[in-house]
Homo-oligomer: A and B are copies of this chain.
Amino acid sequence: MAPAVTSLRKERDLKAREELILDHARRLLAEKGFQAWNMEQLAVAVEYSKGTLYQHFSSKEDLVLAVASRILNLRADLFEQAASFKGSTREQGRAIGLASCVFAHRHPDFFHIEMMLKSASFWEKASPERKEAHARAGARCWRTLYNIIVSAIALGDMPRLPWSAEHATMALISITIGSHVVGMEHNLRVFAGIDNPLLSVRLNQDLVCDGLGWKPLLHEHNYAATDQRIVSEIFPDAAAFLIPA
């Protein structure tokens, strides 16, 4: 069935072009925010016409939401890879912590884009499909960490706390996001003398895990060795910045 083959290729090409557009849009968002670039510039960058852009995305806002969802899915991908790490539940949690660092390193602009999306005006101009896709991508990240914590409690690695597993999940996500956001602070070096924010992120995650009583605690286990394994097995490309000399 020749036509089917053709249409498959067409679809594949279309998908590839969409990726190309999203890549460049992400770069522009990271560099300039939302308003300091226009569709013309994006069209030139991807070497397609403005009209073609509008065949993929119904508006500039829709496009930005698509960028955000795509990054969020990449984040979920990293989390899921990390969750597959063979080890104790806390080690798996640690793997997700490292995954969040890999992600922050690859997408330092992500939180910026996410905050953009808090503006009501975005959601008014984005297509319903896009909105739903974004919610799904967000849920994937939560679920991956949540499942590990549920296991940890079931296995007795984490004490049955006076609060829910969902809450513990939120605590870890909060320290992670908070650390990354604070790490973006212009004056961080001035305020706190911190040069490598990614290291701080993991330290902070450790504090929360210890606070949750997640066994083995920081001082009960050689997590540096765990980090070595996680990096070599799951994020070999990221060794350079995850394991500083």
Contact = CB atoms under 8 A, between A and B. Distances in A.
Interface residues of A, number: 56
Contacts of A121: 32-33, 35-36
A205 B177 CA distance: 14
A130 B179 CA distance: 26
Interface SS of chain A: helix
Max count, chain B CB within 10 A of own CB: residue among A36, A171, A174: A174
This chain: copies in complex: 4
A166 interface: yes
Interface stretch (A76-84, A89-97, A185-193): A185-193
Contact of A210 (B135, B177, B187, B210): B210
A10 interface: no
A112 interface: yes
A178 interface: yes
A8 interface: no
Interface in A140-181: 142, 146, 163-164, 166-167, 169-171, 173-179, 181
A32 B119 contact: yes
A221 B100 CA distance: 34
Nearest to A169: B192
Interface in A70-126: 111-112, 115-116, 118-122
A192 B166 contact: yes
The 6 A-B residue pairs whose C-beta atoms are closest, nearest first, are: A178-B178, A207-B211, A33-B119, A115-B115, A174-B178, A211-B211
